[in-house]
Structure 1
Amino acid sequence: MASTTPPVCDFGWQAPGFTLPATDGRSYRLEDVAGKNGTLVMFICNHCPFVLAVVDKLVRDSRDLQALGIGVAAICSNDSVSYPQDSFENMQRMAEEHEFPFPYLHDAEQTVARSYEAVCTPDFFGFNKDLALQYRGRLDATRMGSEAGDLRRDLFEAMKQVAETGKGPEEQIPSIGCSIKWKEEQ
């Protein structure tokens, strides 16, 4: 499986707005998920081994970040026609099975992924309270198919710093994951 790495953090880049349906039956806008101390927007999916390797850590770190006033949302933008594992119904199943503490949003038209210039799953966008980008790095050093012990919680530590200071760390290690599964151009 080929992996993809996102570009480095473009500090200060403003979060594009969105309105998307969620697995809980509601629709959410960026403003609905934004936290008082920052916001984390994660592009994930249901089938990527890179996501599956960290999903429980995503849930743990999201809960811990929410306690610090960071709003969290996950978005699936994959083409569910070509990749039925990423269908809305399977998104609902994944959110329930893993007890997601955040809305899991469906970007069926892929417009949000394009506006964020997301490239892979997982792809993390950490914003400060003013919705200015401060983090675009990895969750941690977990690698697919390997047992890792206690790893530094890169995403958590970076977003904790954002919550406390409004600024992300200068040094960031990019996430790695499966490419977003784009729809064929018509």
Structure 2
Amino acid sequence: MVSTQTPICDFNTPAIDFSLKGVDGTMHNLKSCQGENGLLLMFICNHCPYVKAIIDRIIRDTKALKKIGVNAVAIMSNNPNEYEADSFENMQKIATSMNFPFPYLIDETQQVAKTYGAVCTPDFFGYNADLKLQYRGRLDASHKESAAVDIKRDLFDAMSQIAITRQGPKEQIPSMGCSIKWLPSVD
């Protein structure tokens, strides 16, 4: 497991359309995932200890964000041949057992992750209502540890601000997680 951090937010970069299969068996695209006041696009996976440590808080925060018009979508771009836990069947199992309040999509070719410049799981991209990037930071100060009840909710606070002002916070702390497990390149 290689730990890495996300780059600094490149404000106002437009979201890029995609068409990916969800664990629900249907195809999802940028427009179908977008909320009235924004979109939180997350690159996650099933096996990553960083994601496992925060998944309950991701679910809590995405439910709260939906109430203020910010939808969320999760994309799994890892090579499932490297980690069986990241297979489509296991994605379906975890989404069902944890009752994900967002679509969970598979990026089999990894093209969406490459296009977005995703580097790790979790990697969060927060867009405003115009689908312009306003947040590329962490969920909160925890990493692979459980968090204190009163921990500052960086991502939730940033997305709430974006829903109201369309602008993300100037100061952002990068997300940290496991590197994306890329498919072997064919040269």
Query: What's the TM-score once normalised by structure 2's chain length?
Result: 0.97
Looking at structure 1, the residues matched to 39 and 143 of structure 2 have their Cα atoms a distance apart, in angstroms, of: 25
- CA deviations on 1:80-117 (whole Å, 9 max, x unpaired) are 11221100000001101111000000001001000100
Q: Secondary structure at the match of 1:7?
A: coil
**Alignment of structure 1 residues 66-145 onto 2, 5 Å:** 66-145=66-145
Q: Secondary structure at the match of 1:177?
A: strand
Q: Say yes or no: does 1:46 pair with 2:62.
A: no
- CA deviations on 1:8-29 (whole Å, 9 max, x unpaired) are 0000001110000000111101
Alignment RMSD: 0.9
- CA deviations on 1:141-177 (whole Å, 9 max, x unpaired) are 1121355332111000000000000000000000000
- Residue 21 of structure 1: aligned partner: 21
After superposing the two structures, state which structure 1 stretch, 145-154 or 14-23, moved more: 145-154
Gaps of 5+ in 2: none
User: May I ask how many residue pairs the two structures share in their alignment?
Assistant: 186
Opposite residue 35 of structure 1, the aligned amino acid is: G
**Alignment of structure 1 residues 3-18 onto 2, 5 Å:** 3-18=3-18
Gaps of 5+ in 1: none
Opposite residue 125 of structure 1, the aligned amino acid is: F
**Dislocated runs of 4+, deviation >2 Å:** 145-149
- Residue 183 of structure 1: aligned partner: 183
Q: Secondary structure at the match of 1:53?
A: helix
Looking at structure 1, the residues matched to 136 and 97 of structure 2 have their Cα atoms a distance apart, in angstroms, of: 27
